[in-house]
Amino acid sequence: MLLRTILAATTAVAALLVPATAAQAGPHRATTSAATTTSAATATSAATAGTAAGTEAIAAAGANPVIVVGGLIGVSIAYEPIAARLRADGFRVSIYQLPGLGFGDIRESARALAAYVNQVRAATGAAKVDLVTHSEGGLVSRWYVKFLGGVDKVDHYLSLGSPQQGTYAANILKFVGLGSCAGIVACEQMSIGSDLLTALNGGDDTPGSVRWTTVRTWQDELVWPIDNAGLADGATNVLIQSWCPLRLVGHLGLILDGTTYTVVRQALTDAAIRPNCFAL
């Protein structure tokens, strides 16, 4: 019953997010045609953005293989949009779906991810991979990096809406009488103050020479408070609305949103982080 409820809620949120992104793009196009000066400014901005994107695409050609790590209930096909963007920019991309859709122990999911990373490295001949993670996938990937040898096999780590310090969305299930996350192990581990998060966040948040980037949004329905999606110890933490105040991006929207993707591409190519607020 709980699984059906979660799946229904996820579908509903996704249905709301995609039209919102499309609707948001419309006014920008209308505005640019309103006046000649505005059009000229926009054209200049677009040219600059195009040049930057071209430079990043060239850098992508020699980049590490990218593994998109899904989150809770994150079926592989849900991550095809961001994977397709990455492939179009020249990256070699695969998608990793968490075992059991992420309901089980995050530590076990991290062990499975470790085996998958080794498979990708063997297949591509790459010494290191880059991880683009969403939601729970960010915690799974951090556990792999910190405790399972991933620190020497991962170059870039990016998390999109990952509850790095836990979320009250997990704790609330206890409050409403559903027990300890209704028996879902990963939910218990994502609760603020869990043993897993205490271990994961103890000491250095960002070990090794891995380049760490987190992305978060004010409209995240599942990570509360939103600052819990950030990391310390030298990580680059990007709040979408700090750059683009009018950009509406939800938890699932982070894997669909054009502005968010510009951050992903810039981080993977070691470019300066300058989100494109008008990206589709």
**Please, are residues 276 and 56 in contact by the beta-carbon 8 Å criterion?**
no
Report the alpha-carbon distance of residue 228 to residue 135 in Å, rounded: 12
Query: Can you give the pLDDT at residue 57?
Result: 54
Report the alpha-carbon distance of residue 35 to residue 130 in Å, rounded: 43
186-217 core/surface letters (b: 16 or more CB in 10 A; e: else): bbbbbbbebebbeebbeeebbeeebbbbbbbb
pLDDT at 13 over 80: no
Q: Which residue has the tokens 């979408």?
A: 240
Report the alpha-carbon distance of residue 13 to residue 219 in Å, rounded: 12
pLDDT at 140 over 60: yes
Query: Can you give the pLDDT at residue 171?
Result: 77
Going from the C-alpha of 99 to that of each of 10, 23, 125, 135, 183, the distances in angstroms are: 18, 35, 25, 15, 17
Bond from prior residue into 65 cis (ω within 30 degrees of 0): no
Average pLDDT, the chain: 83
pLDDT at 146 over 50: yes
Query: Can you give the pLDDT at residue 112?
Result: 98
pLDDT at 201 over 90: yes
pLDDT band at 240 (very low <50, low <70, confident <90, very high): very high
pLDDT at 29 over 80: no
pLDDT at 19 over 50: no
Query: Can you give the pLDDT at residue 2?
Result: 35
pTM of the model: 0.79
